[in-house]
Amino acid sequence: MVRASSKYETERRIIANDPEHNAQYNYAKNYIKTSKYTFFNFVPYNLFEQFQRLANFYFLCLLVLQLIPVISSLTPVTTAVPLIGVLMVTAIKDAYDDYQRHRSDNQVNRRKSLVLRNGQLKEEIWSKVEVGDVIRMENNQFVAADILLLSTSEPNGLCYIETSELDGETNLKCKQCLPETESLGQDDARIGAFRGEIRCEPPNNQLNKFEGVLNWEGKQHSLDNDKILLRGCILRNTDWCYGVVIFAGKDTKLMMNSGKTKFKRTSIDRLLNFIILGIVFFLLSMCLFCTVACGIWESLTGQYFRVFLPWDSLIPPDPPGGPAVIALLVFFSYAIVLNTVVPISLYVSVEVIRLCQSFLINWDDAMYHPPTRNHAKARTTTLNEELGQIEYIFSDKTGTLTQNIMSFNKCSIAGRSYGDIIDPRTGEFLEISEYTRPVDLSRNPYHESNFKFYDQSLVDALDGGDPDCEAFFRLLSLCHTVMPEESRGKLEYQAQSPDEGALVSAARNFGFVFKSRTPNSITIFAKGVQEVYELLCILDFNNVRKRMSVILKRDGKIRLFCKGADSIIYERLKEGQDSLKYHTQEHLDRFAGDGLRTLCLAYKDLDEEYFLDWKGRHHEAAVSLERREEKLDEIYEEIEKNLILLGATAIEDKLQDGVPQTIANLAVAGIKIWVLTGDKQETAINIGYSCQLLTDDMLEVFIIDAHNASDVEDQLRKYREEIRNVTATKQPQTNLSVVTFSVYSDEGVGQDNLSDAGESNGGFALVINGHSLVWALNPKLELLFLEVASQCRSVICCRVTPLQKAMVVDLVKRYKKAVTLAVGDGANDVSMIKTAHIGVGISGQEGLQAVLASDYSVAQFRFLERLLLVHGRWSYYRMCKFLRYFFYKNFAFTLCHFWFAFFVAFSAQTLFDPMFISVYNLFYTSMPVLALGIFEQDVNAKNSIKFPRLYTPGLLNALFNKREFFRSALHGFLTSCVLFFIPFGAYYNGMDQEGRSMADQQTFGSVVATILVIVVTMQMCLDTSYWTLFNHITIWGSLIFYLLLQYFYNFVIGGEYVGALSKAMGEPLFYFTTLLTIVVLMLPVMAWRFYWVDVRPNLSDKVRFKQRHDAKMASKRSEHDMLRTPSARRSRRSVRSGYAFAHQEGFGRLITSGKIMRPRNMKQGPMSNGRATNLRPDNKISLVAPAPSTVEV
């Protein structure tokens, strides 16, 4: 029977413990395979893959041509050696990678699991587990497949899992089985007789969604994601549990999410493909020229020398046909002789350089973060030089620019603001410093020592029994999905988001302690008095609702408590609260001026009859198999109306260390930074000022907040005209691209100076709301939006969804010839990270989803500065220098054959020894250029950061482009001319000291080859700015290795050119010719470079001079580290804030169905997400940018 493939499967039907029934659907087994090769198919499969690369296939064709004696003047070894070398290196790498995959597959497939077969537990390996099997898992074991939970060892059918392999989060998550199946316990006989029928959705990759139904004993039970354990989870703090396998093997959600990552290529890769194609056409052009020339020579001259140079028997003897056939064969012969102009070793060298550059990133201790013990990590080795060409950075805000560690800072209760300290003499607000004394909360036995609050009036109000304040904190202690746990006698909270943990912790410190919960109740201690509430329902948070509610009953009264974003809550408030709404709104605006995240709190009393009717309709929506989420949202919307406002909370999310300085430096480097955040416009604007994304000296901050397409278009057109008017009346701005590398550009010559960062004055910024962005991303308006946004120094997109983040990045990628980078720390940033040219994940407080999807990972946003300005710039600089030199030396080598053709009747006779041709790129010149590509640097890391404008050449694509390639090729062309014709003239009628002729082909070829190696090595010395031990070893070692290998090959093995080089080196003529050739070739290069460095230096030259000068003077002025002085300017504040919720659902559905932390003490999990384990003492963050300073040289 054909398998019910997940691609076509519409519904899955399973009967537990019934393998015969389940076998008819031929569901996937639990065996997984991520490897590509087997022992038997590795060689053909790998070769097939490698020859799909154009360069490898090209050289294979050349090798076949060289096997035909009539057209080949070269031994096949000349092509076979480098081709086999490249294929072997790549094959070894592929084999190693696949071996690791095989090991991983075998390790997983051979894990043990207890499977219930015929009413008895039997140990089976994972690969033999099938859909419909019931398996038993024990504590700390991996879950073998996606299973429906049947029973557990914990009260109320709970179990606890860790999902680090799925989403990177190590905090424990709670699952619960159906109450009906919980009674099965661990009775193997009863569980073996279980024949429940499961109907559910087909396999898919949605980790947080599951819909299904269990039919058992004549009843239908709704199944959701809270009853499913996914493959890859680890069972924690649960002795045992049983479950039915629903999805196995490649159908599991873990495997469905492990699809191939989109292959990313750098702009240099794309340019190289174009250049290689051009080189092939150039090669064919040379071959065609030699073909025509050969035909003419054979027709005019060659046919009369057949006595001395007889034609091959294949050649027609008649004059018109013979020369034509010879010319045709010569075409292929020269294709073989000149094939080295297409560098086969280029791709391997590039990959080696990139790999080593990745190691240098991984080993950089300056990007190590001690608190989290995280190094920067290059998760890909193919994009390093692209880090030096970033023009747009798209950044998340929370957890990326900020710490995502929340602290309760201020609040508004019943129209009164708390949290500010007021000077009793002047009535002005006082700034809180490290010397300010917090209020004393130590009389509360549950207070936390790291909780700080500074307004004594709130404590006094609570002590005085203020009913509004008590209701406020009572709501905070009840309306949440936090899980309590006792650890070493201490109460700790485990929250789905740091925001929620901070609010519950605040209530706890002010005397309203959330103590415990059961499936149907919540217990708190309100000012020392225990209060138990019956939990009737939780209306959980999601990104669409932006609010959560709980419905509780106590003393016969039913009350709904709600908290959410101010815009959402205000829409649902009961009429008649205008004064309270006005004052609360004023406080919200002021809280936003301090960069705080806000929530509004409200409540509503419910009639019991109405609630019972609503509860029935809620249950119907909850068990629906169609549009379940939409129906629940409608039910929630109905009851969350006519609320009474209590107040608002304000939570502080501090900036990470070094964010303002990093953003200021990146802006000076010419990089445009766009912040894409789910927070409100006002919060984002305020953080923008705090982190120097927005500055006081900007000409204008444009705000787009229209709600329809026409208004958005009008705003965009208006702002475009304003930008045009300002641009037309002002001088052209050069602040972001002041570095005009004179060698590469004709404008702005002489404008470079050693201003060590400075601030980019003027310019515009754009702020756009999510509802406006919907219209701005419409195909009709996207180009207008991009035109306006791209002329702004900074762009902030607020209230955006994860999909909109990806759409914004994609818009810039499609229409701007610019390299993009996306940086984020949460699951909501994954789509943006995958869309950008380069994705950077920050290992923060929201798990490792972003890191797992990224190309590079860092622990803090500030490390992005070093990653781009140091490693990115160095990688780009090294790769460009490597490529320029590589093409130069190949053209200088190959074109010597072309000049030689004019003197050998275009007969495809080679100038060099075949062995020299084979190993020129492989041994003689490969190691110095690799050392250059790995270690070269024009300026050190300190100055790369101190002078961010050094980054500009990467933005301009100035160091390697088509023009630079042609320049390198022309340099190689002229070098080959000099290399050939000076020795040719010297040896044309040359004689040794004894009067014997030295004008033989082998001596001449050996002399040219030796001078070639010396010249390209000297050119390498000129190109090397940063000398290391490896550079010395490879450069001087290459010359020594050349002489040793020549001796070994010719005298030990007996090569064709035996004695030719030693004979030439025994004569003064060789040394005179070598010296003359070197002087003619090197003197113009040195003069050219000295002219540009001394007369018209670019910024890199100036910094390099300053670096050498500083090194000489270091002993005299070691006390001056020349670091920038921070500016004393205060950050400007805006006027609003945003709601404080995480981007994921809470524990609501889990709690209402009895999914709670068990009443007895839990074992400590590997990591808790609650406040007690997340919060650490606040650090003072500098919110100012460095002031400019100028050093004249």
Give exposure, 1156-1186, as e/b (b: 16+ Cβ within 10 Å). bbbeeebebbeebbbbbbbbeeeeebebbbb
> d(Cα 872, Cα 869) in Å, to the nearest integer?
6
- Nearest 5 degrees, angle CA 880-CA 886-CA 889? 140
Distances (CA, A) of 970 to 236, 240, 895, 1012, 1041: 67, 74, 11, 16, 28
Which residue has 């692209």 as its token pair?
386
**DSSP code string of 1134-1165:** -S--EE---SS--SHHHHHTT----SSPPPPP
Q: How far apart are CA 1086 and CA 1079, in angstroms?
A: 10
Q: What DSSP letter does each residue of 795-854 carry, written as one string?
A: EEE-S--HHHHHHHHHHHHHH--SEEEEEESSGGGHHHHHHSSEEEEE--SS-SHHHHH-
The two beta strands, 529-539 and 547-554, are antiparallel
d(CA 869, CA 390): 10
Query: How many CA atoms, within 13 angstroms, populate the side-chain half-sphere of residue 37?
Result: 21
- Three-state DSSP class for residue 990: coil
Cα separation of 682 and 1137, whole Å? 5
Residue in the block written with tokens 């490969």: 926
Q: Which of 396, 566, 825, 1101 is catalytic?
A: 396
Indicate if the alpha-carbon torsion angle 461, 466, 471, 472 is positive or negative.
negative
Is 396 annotated in the active site? yes
Q: Which residues contact 481 (CB under 8 A, 6 or more apart)?
A: 495, 496, 500, 538, 540, 541, 548, 1146, 1147, 1148, 1150, 1151
Provide the token pair at 122: 């039997």
Phi/psi class of residue 763: alpha, beta or left (left: φ > 0; alpha: ψ in -120 to 50)? left
Tell me which residue of 500, 501, 484 sits closest to 450, measured CA to CA.
Answer: 501
Nearest by Cα to 291 from 337, 325, 321, 318: 325
CA distances from 36 to 19, 53, 136, 251 (A): 31, 18, 32, 19
Q: In what order do the strands lie in the sheet with 120-125?
A: 120-125, 112-117, 134-138, 240-247, 146-152, 228-229
Amino acid at the residue 436: T
971-996 core/surface letters (b: 16 or more CB in 10 A; e: else): bbeebbbbbbebbbebbeebeeeeee
Q: How far apart (Å, rounded) are the C-alpha atoms in residues 1102 and 1093?
A: 8
Catalytic residues: 396
